[in-house]
Amino acid sequence: GESVGLHLPTLSVQEGDNSIINCAYSNSASDYFIWYKQESGKGPQFIIDIRSNMDKRQGQRVTVLLNKTVKHLSLQIAATQPGDSAVYFCAEKEPGGGADGLTFGKGTHLIIQP
């Protein structure tokens, strides 16, 4: 079946640098996407979401870009801090009822080097 996948399992960046985490999705019908951060021993924490009628959405230090043409989603984190070290998941949802589940990618481990 269709699935969400991540290009890089591990990404290491210097503190203060910007980081970009990528996600490829294969279900062209998906209309809602979310980025989650998961720290060790904790549940996924919502970072930012985007709907398919948008190309870009910005939050505090984070930006999500959606390219529906190539079915690609990215998360940009500006001026990375040690607290940004975590596993980042993208998730997608097909159109439908509000009770439908999300399909998660495998995750990218972001490591912030001092």
Partner 1 sequence: EPEVTQTPSHQVTQMGQEVILRCVPISNHLYFYWYRQILGQKVEFLVSFYNNEISEKSEIFDDQFSVERPDGSNFTLKIRSTKLEDSAMYFCASTPQGANYGYTFGSGTRLTVV
Among 11, 13, 27, 49, binds partner 1 (CB under 8 A): 49
Strand intervals (E) in 26-114? 32-38, 45-51, 56-58, 62-67, 72-77, 86-93, 103-104, 108-113
Structure tokens at 94: 């097909």
Residues from 51 through 110 that contact partner 1 (CB under 8 A): 51, 89, 91, 93, 97-107
Q: Residue 56 Cβ, how far from partner 1 at the closest point, in Å?
A: 18
* Residue (of 53, 56, 112, 52) closest to 88 by Cα position: 112
Q: How many CB atoms lie within 10 A of CB 69?
A: 6
Pick the stretch among 15-23, 43-51, 58-66, 74-82 that binds partner 1 (CB under 8 A): 43-51
Query: Residue 16 Cβ, how far from partner 1 at the closest point, in Å?
Result: 28
Q: Report the interface residues with partner 1, using CB under 8 A.
A: 32, 34, 36, 41-46, 49, 51, 89, 91, 93, 97-107
